[in-house]
């Protein structure tokens, strides 16, 4: 009987996938019980999709990356000139010497006929595929006439998704793996070279006691992330408010009610101009209706949910850090409550089963009842969005369990995901925008009202709900009496410190990090005491963080700006798409 070894990225994934494929008949064991981190091993027999023959299956996992890279031994000495780190040799070694994952994988794969890789379906997972292959392929049975290594692509831990992936096995993507290798090597060379240089320089100048740290780290993504926070802080501190002037007018209607008018220009920085407008309005005494309009408008439903949008929403609505959000999202995915949470795509695929998604979350709670109504009243078409060619958008897969409901943070994130998916499948919000206009001495004043016609998606996203605002019924040619007109002086406000949500926006806009790494980079600037979080969850740079960015800017402000990293990320994308090579990117 032929043997098939299957490898997942984490032990609990191996347990779930083996259970689904074996119909819960797999026997659980361990590859090496002598090790404190012995990998799990699940075994069963069943048909092999490629040929239909009966085979023996083994399923195990890694603990994430199997290997890590480092400099060759001589270059690991801090006395080596940091400049040499850009040209010295790189070695790949076992990530966890105690776990001996490579050795365990080789033991499980010895004499296997086929290898099926169930690593996470992103570039990082693709890279781990090749680490697993390096350990297993040399000890497999040699069958040159047949494909021996397969890749399973899946986006949800459901029976349907897993079995569908198993019957549509593909080939690992070497180019995506190479792009991760290139990123890791460049981050190692740049990060270590600058870390050593600035640590030595600052220790020599200020002493270790003053720095209160052994190393002063530089990160190719961490530094522009910190720079965004420092720049906003400095903009706030250096801001000088400018006075500006509003013209406030109130009129008396024929029915005796007093109504304020909006000045269409909103404000002016010229006080004399504002006073002149007030005088002209008072002199006019009566204002004539010059225009009446009622125009239908739409407030578009949100696009399908991707990782960055989930991080933004969790930060702004749940006061949850990006790193904690991803930890909870991973857990929800592992437990089968949501689909894969790392994706850049915001457009549902043509194959998306709306009915199944809605049915999976119907219930007695408010969101469940809304989902049930949407099944029978679903608008045609879907929201606009972008297909980035990776995983489909994040969606719920099943109702919350009582255990999940007792975990406030995880349940809060689950509900947020459900609400935004329901909103993306709902109708747009439609409303009438009503205006009654008055022209006087070349200036326009207005009454503005709103009549909500269809709440649409705002029924489920209540914080975006529009409130109807009635205005009196007037016709062109009607007159109203000016009751008061005055100038109100105000001062422009300084920009506020960044929120985590603001920072995520800036990182995405400038191409700093990926959907998977953005939370890690934000976490690192907090961990290294470069920034702190205020009581209202705004990001305040510490003196050390400010000094770091000031130092880079004094040397070369390109060191702290996002353009270098953004260009590098674009080059890495070209490698993943086989349009460039690692050596080209490293030379650039």
SS (H, E, C) 433-466: EEEEEEEECCEEEEEEEEEEEECHHHHCCHHHCC
CB of 225 within 8 A of CB of 508? no
Task: Look up tokens 């904690």; give the residue.
Answer: 324
Quote the tokens at residue 493: 């406000």
Helix residue ranges per DSSP H, 270-387: 271-284, 307-318, 322-334, 354-359, 366-376
Residue 411 contacts residue 322 (beta carbons within 8 Å): no
To the query of whether residue 411 is one of the catalytic residues in this protein, the response is: no
Q: Which residues contact 199 (CB under 8 A, 6 or more apart)?
A: 214, 215, 216
Do 132 and 7 meet the contact criterion of CB atoms below 8 Å apart? yes
Distance separating alpha carbons of residues 44 and 42, to the nearest angstrom: 7
The SS3 assignment for 151 reads strand
Six-digit token string for 64: 């994430």
User: For residues 413 and 325, is the Cβ–Cβ distance under 8 A?
Assistant: yes
- What span, in angstroms and rounded, lies between the C-alpha atoms of 434 and 254? 19
Distance CA 12, CA 101 (A): 16
Quick one: which of 587, 565, 564, 585 has its CA closest to 575? 585
Q: Which one of 333, 340, 370, 431 is the catalytic residue?
A: 340
CB of 44 closer than 8 Å to CB of 27: yes
What is the rounded CA–CA span in Å between residue 442 and residue 240? 32
Give the HSE-up count for residue 92: Cα atoms under 13 Å, Cβ half-sphere: 13
Q: Is 342 helix (H, G, I), strand (E, B) or coil?
A: coil
- CA within 13 Å, CB half, 141: 13
DSSP 547-560: HHHHHHHHHHGGGT
Query: Could you list the active site residues?
Result: 340
């Amino acid at each position: 009987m032929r043997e098939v070894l299957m490898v997942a990225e984490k032990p609990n994934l191996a347990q779930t996938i083996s259970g689904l494929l074996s119909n819960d008949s797999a026997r659980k064991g361990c590859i090496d019980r002598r090790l404190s981190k012995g990998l799990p091993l699940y075994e069963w027999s069943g048909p092999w999709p490629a040929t239909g023959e009966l085979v023996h299956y083994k399923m195990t996992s890694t603990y994430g990356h199997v290997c890590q890279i480092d400099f060759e031994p001589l270059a690991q000495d801090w006395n080596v000139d940091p400049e040499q780190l850009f040209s010295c040799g790189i070695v790949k070694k076992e990530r966890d010497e105690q776990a001996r994952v490579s050795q365990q994988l080789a033991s499980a794969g010895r004499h296997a006929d086929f290898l099926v890789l169930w690593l996470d379906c992103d570039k990082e997972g693709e890279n781990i595929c090749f680490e697993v292959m390096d350990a297993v392929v040399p000890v497999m049975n040699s069958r040159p006439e047949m494909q021996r290594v397969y890749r399973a692509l899946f986006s949800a831990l459901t029976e349907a998704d897993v079995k569908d992936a198993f019957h549509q096995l593909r080939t690992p993507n070497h180019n995506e793996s190479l792009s991760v290798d290139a990123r890791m090597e460049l981050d190692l060379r740049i990060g270590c070279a600058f870390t050593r240089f600035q640590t030595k320089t600052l220790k020599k100048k200020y002493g270790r006691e003053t720095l209160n740290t052994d190393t002063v780290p530089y990160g190719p993504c961490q530094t522009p992330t910190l720079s965004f926070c420092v720049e906003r802080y400095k903009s706030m501190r250096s801001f000088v408010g400018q006075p500006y002037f509003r013209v406030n007018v109130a009129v008396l209607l024929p029915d005796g009610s007093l109504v304020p008018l909006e000045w269409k220009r909103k404000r002016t920085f010229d006080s004399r101009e504002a006073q002149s407008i007030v005088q002209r309005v008072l002199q006019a005494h009566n204002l004539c209706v010059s225009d009446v309009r009622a125009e239908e408008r739409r407030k578009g439903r949100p696009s399908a949910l991707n990782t960055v949008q989930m991080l933004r929403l969790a930060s702004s609505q749940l006061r949850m850090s990006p790193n904690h959000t991803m930890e909870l999202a991973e857990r929800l995915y592992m437990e089968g409550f949501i689909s894969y949470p790392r994706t850049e795509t915001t457009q549902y695929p043509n194959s998306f089963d709306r009915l199944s998604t809605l049915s999976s979350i119907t219930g007695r709670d408010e969101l469940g009842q809304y989902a049930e109504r949407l099944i029978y009243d679903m608008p045609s078409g879907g929201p606009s969005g972008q297909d980035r060619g990776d995983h489909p958008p994040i969606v719920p897969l099943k109702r919350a369990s009582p255990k999940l409901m007792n975990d406030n943070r995880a349940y809060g994130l689950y509900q947020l995901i459900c609400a935004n998916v329901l909103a993306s499948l709902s109708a747009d919000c439609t409303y009438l925008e009503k205006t009654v206009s008055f022209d006087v001495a070349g200036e326009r004043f207005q009454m503005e009202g709103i009549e909500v016609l269809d709440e649409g998606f705002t029924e489920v996203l209540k914080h975006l709900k529009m409130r109807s605002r009635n205005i009196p019924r007037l016709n062109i040619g009607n007159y109203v009496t000016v009751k008061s007109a005055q100038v109100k002086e105000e001062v422009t406000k300084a920009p506020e410190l960044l929120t985590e949500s603001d920072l995520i926006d800036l990182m995405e806009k400038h191409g700093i990090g990926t959907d998977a790494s953005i939370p890690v980079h934000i976490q690192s600037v907090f961990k290294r005491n470069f920034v702190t979080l205020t009581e209202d969850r705004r990001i305040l740079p510490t003196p050390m963080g400010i000094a770091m960015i000031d130092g880079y800017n004094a040397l070369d402000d390109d060191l702290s700006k996002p353009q270098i990293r953004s260009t590098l990320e674009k080059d890495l994308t070209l490698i993943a798409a086989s349009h460039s090579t690692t050596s080209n990117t490293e030379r650039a």
